[in-house]
Amino acid sequence: MKILITGGAGFIGGNFVSYMIDKYPTYEIYNLDALTYAGDLAKHEAIRNYKNYHFIKENIVNRAAIYSLFQQERFDCVVHFAAESHVDRSIEDPEVFTRTNVLGTQVLLDAANDIGIKKFIHISTDEVYGDLELDSNTLFTETTPIQPSSPYSASKASSDLLVHSYYRTYHLPVNITRCSNNYGPYQHAEKLIPLTISKVLNKQKIPVYGDGKNVRDWLHVYDHCAAVDLVLHEGVNGEVYNIGGNNEKSNIDIVSSIIEMLDGSLDLIEYVTDRLGHDRRYAIDSSKISKLGWKPMYKFNTGLEKTIDWYVRNQNFFKEKVNENGNV
Ligand SMILES: Cc1cn([C@H]2C[C@H](O)[C@@H](COP(=O)(O)OP(=O)(O)O[C@H]3O[C@H](CO)[C@@H](O)[C@H](O)[C@H]3O)O2)c(=O)[nH]c1=O
């Protein structure tokens, strides 16, 4: 089995590359990544010289290069993680989000469709559904209407629609997965959990947006990798699968837990101006993928403790990503 993993130098894609190399030593794994600010190959140091691991530095928007790679390698499957992923950056500079997330996805779809593929998995996000009321019990299901709030989530929703259209029009064997907020090793320091850990380790103020009561559902990245693996092997073509951790937490609870676990005596919380268009609550129903046989294995407190421990032991990871003022 020859698998192309796009965005394999990023956080989730990078963990997925390692997971697949460990679990399937007979698979050929191709990691294609543009190595933007969010990419980092240090995480693959241990597998760099494996015969079944191949790295290609390329941008998914480069149609000629992508076509030539597909023609040369004749992949069986594509697992497409490559994306601009940070909501705050999309508010500052939306264009690259459309270019990479929409046009880049289209290039991959065209190459897969023209040259042939057995499975195309598009990794998407629960953010395409928009947001929920804080005090409701409502959950996003796969049939919840798409109503994105940020330029980031609009670009992901647009690419989801394109992927679906290639299934309907050309019968391309696709799946779309929509995950909740991931945490775990190797996440970029711009995201809430690593950012908070880095700030606490350096005794710097932690910017909490708005009133800090926004709620996210937290999923350990290893649980996410297992879910994508399952969809790759068992997913029904054309279907969307939600993947959530069943762990709803407010941002202020997350930040307070991290401070408590590292040094409860510190007073570092700083409420700052809210994110524009800030979604209030995400909560996701994963019962469809659980029927395929998946459930999250990580309990949030254990997962968070292990994650904090990993960042404490690997503080070098922050070095190139955070300046001396603690800013990304
Ligand atoms: C960076 C930062 C974030 N926040 C808040 C905003 C959010 O409510 C929450 C989490 O923020 P972020 O870590 O940026 O993640 P969020 O915007 O939820 O989006 C993440 O999770 C999504 C899945 O839900 C993914 O699709 C996105 O690619 C990923 O970036 O914490 C703060 O209060 N302060 C901060 O400094």
Q: In a 3-state reduction of DSSP, which class is residue 296? A: coil
Q: Does 277 contact ligand 1 (Cβ within 6 A)?
A: no
Q: Does 127 contact ligand 1 (Cβ within 6 A)?
A: yes
pLDDT tens-place string over residues 28-76: 999 999 999 999 999 999 999 999 999 999 999 999 999 999 999 999 9
pLDDT at 319 over 90: no
pLDDT at 326 over 70: no
Cα dist from 161 to 84, 110, 165, 229, whole Å: 17, 14, 6, 22
CATH number for the segment(s) 2-182+218-243? 3.40.50.720
Q: In sequence order, which residues have a C-beta less than 8 Å from that of residue 68 and are 6 or more positions away?
A: none
> Which residue puts its alpha carbon closest to atom 31 of ligand 1?
192
Q: Write out the two tokens for 256.
A: 């307070």
The HSE-up count of residue 288 (CA atoms within 13 Å, CB side) is 19
pLDDT at 324 over 90: no
Catalytic status, residue 152: yes
Report the distance separating Cα 245 and Cα 224, nearest Å. Answer: 9
Catalytic status, residue 223: no
pLDDT tens-place string over residues 132-147: 999 899 999 999 999 9
Residue 135: the pLDDT is 87
Residue 264: the pLDDT is 82
The segment(s) of the chain belonging to CATH 3.40.50.720 are 2-182+218-243
8 A C-beta contact, residue 16 and residue 79:
yes
Residue in 156, 208, 251, 259 to alter for ligand 1 test, most ligand atoms within 8 A of Cβ: 251
Q: Could you tell me the pLDDT band of residue 87, with boundaries at 50, 70 and 90? A: very high
Provide mean pLDDT across the span 97-125.
98
Q: Does 249 contact ligand 1 (Cβ within 6 A)?
A: no
Quote the mean pLDDT of the chain: 96
Provide mean pLDDT across the span 226-231.
98
Provide mean pLDDT across the span 224-240.
98
* Least-confidence region, from 227-236, 257-266, 304-313: 257-266
> Which residue puts its alpha carbon closest to atom 21 of ligand 1?
181
Q: Could you tell me the pLDDT band of residue 118, with boundaries at 50, 70 and 90? A: very high
Q: Which 3-state string (H, E, C) describes 13-79?
A: HHHHHHHHHHHCCCCEEEEEECCCCCCCCHHHHHHCCCCCEEEEECCCCCHHHHHHHHHHHCCCEEE
Report the distance separating Cα 34 and Cα 188, nearest Å. Answer: 16
- Please give the backbone phi and psi of residue 28, each rounded to the nearest 5 degrees, phi first: -95, 120
Q: Does 282 contact ligand 1 (Cβ within 6 A)?
A: yes
CA–centroid distance, residue 251 to ligand 1 (Å): 9
Of the candidates 173, 180, 157, the one whose C-alpha atom is nearest the C-alpha of residue 77 is: 173
Q: Could you tell me the pLDDT band of residue 266, with boundaries at 50, 70 and 90? A: confident
The segment(s) of the chain belonging to CATH 3.90.25.10 are 189-216+247-280+299-324
Of the candidates 224, 240, 243, 246, the one whose C-alpha atom is nearest the C-alpha of residue 142 is: 240
Provide mean pLDDT across the span 154-181.
98
The HSE-up count of residue 328 (CA atoms within 13 Å, CB side) is 19
Provide mean pLDDT across the span 199-221.
97
Residue 325: the pLDDT is 63
Catalytic status, residue 126: yes
Q: Which secondary-structure segment (H or E) carries 216?
A: strand 215-220
With tokens 């947006």, the residue in question is 209
pLDDT at 250 over 90: yes
pLDDT tens-place string over residues 41-54: 999 999 999 999 99
Q: Which CATH architecture has domain 189-216+247-280+299-324?
A: Alpha-Beta Complex (3.90)
Any idea what the Cα angle at residue 321 is, between residues 3 and 305, rounded to 5°? 75
Q: Does 191 contact ligand 1 (Cβ within 6 A)?
A: yes
Residue 79: the pLDDT is 99
